[in-house]
Chain A
Amino acid sequence: DAKTTQPPSMDCAEGRAANLPCNHSTISGNEYVYWYRQIHSQGPQYIIHGLKNNETNEMASLIITEDRKSSTLILPHATLRDTAVYYCIVRVARNNDMRFGAGTRLTVKP
């Protein structure tokens, strides 16, 4: 199973872009990269996912390198409400198992 590596914590100024990196060097060709976040003690919230191409939705953008060994989640204009733990997950394709690591704790500061 592919594993992910994320920095334990990051800070970002309010209104600036937050760029959260993730390494997944052993990802398989048919595995997707997912991003979730968990605000305080709430249930995780889906943000975005992708396979090869860059993806954008109303919450964020996902940039996946050409070799698919790493990706970056971009929150274009971070707000204080974006303070959360962000999880990068590579989905195990053979079942429904989503392996959450420790994630990156993003703190958006005024």
Chain B
Amino acid sequence: NAGVTQTPKFQVLKTGQSMTLQCAQDMNHNSMYWYRQDPGMGLRLIYYSASEGTTDKGEVPNGYNVSRLNKREFSLRLESAAPSQTSVYFCASSTPGGGTETQYFGPGTRLLVL
């Protein structure tokens, strides 16, 4: 049981390049999330998916797109990377619980945009 896995672990991009961050979970969770964490700050929600086939914006969605490929996988795409998107990106998943679900986080992807 690997939990939540993320690829790649580290990536360097040039401004304007695109890339997709991959996330997968093997816990049969319905909900999945993407967060970003800037140095010295807490996590901020980018997008989430409450179930397969649905996605919703979080606190900081601009510059990102997401795809809930199936129940296991939730990808985050940067179409045209900017230096302001330099951050650590965490994926998480949770079961539904009407307010009591626990989110389980992956190890993170460290992205540097030059």
Contacts and interface: CB of A to CB of B under 8 A. Distances in A.
Given A30-B99, A32-B99, A32-B100, A97 B45 contact: yes
A96 B94 contact: yes
- Is the contact region of chain A dominated by helix, strand, or loop, or is it mixed? loop
Size range of the chain A interface in the assembly: 20 to 34
Interface string A66-103: 00000000000000000000010001010111111111
B72 to A, nearest CB: 18
B100 A46 contact: no
Interface of A: 30-32, 36, 41-46, 49, 87, 91, 93, 95-103
Interface of B: 4, 31, 33, 35, 40-45, 48, 50, 56, 58-59, 88, 90, 92, 94, 99-108
Given A36-B103, A43-B105, A100-B42, 13 more contacts: A32-B100, A42-B107, A43-B90, A43-B108, A44-B92, A49-B102, A93-B99, A95-B50, A95-B56, A96-B33, A96-B94, A100-B35, A101-B42
Q: Which 10 A-B pairs have the closest CB atoms?
A: A43-B105, A100-B42, A100-B43, A46-B102, A44-B105, A101-B42, A96-B48, A43-B90, A102-B42, A93-B99
